[in-house]
Amino acid sequence: MTWTYTAAGGGCPAPLVLTIERGYSFPTVIGANTFSVISTRVSLKYPYSWHFNKVITLLVPGATYQGVTQIDTDAIVPNMD
């Protein structure tokens, strides 16, 4: 019950990954009881290439910086069915 979509190219430094998990569960406590909530989780992993190279050469001539950061985010919603 998990689908993964990967997209590469278009000038991105690494592939973008979208994952949908229909059977994701997490515990929740109501009163003294703990329940497992079956949910759907959508997560996105997005590579971001920093553009400090032009600025850093103004501050420190001859210096270079080319970093890539992986931005991860997700959303979780309880299943209604």
State the pTM of this model.
Answer: 0.70
pLDDT, position 62:
74
Q: Tell me the per-residue pLDDT of 27-41, one tens digit each, with 9 for 90 and over.
A: 999 999 999 999 999
pLDDT, position 80:
87
Q: Considering the chain, what is the average pLDDT of its residues?
A: 86
Total number of residues shown for the chain = 81
**For range 53-80, the mean pLDDT:** 81
Q: Which domain holds residue 16?
A: 2-78
**Are 76 and 28 in contact, with CB atoms under 8 Å apart?**
no
**Are 47 and 15 in contact, with CB atoms under 8 Å apart?**
yes
* Tally of domains in the chain: 1
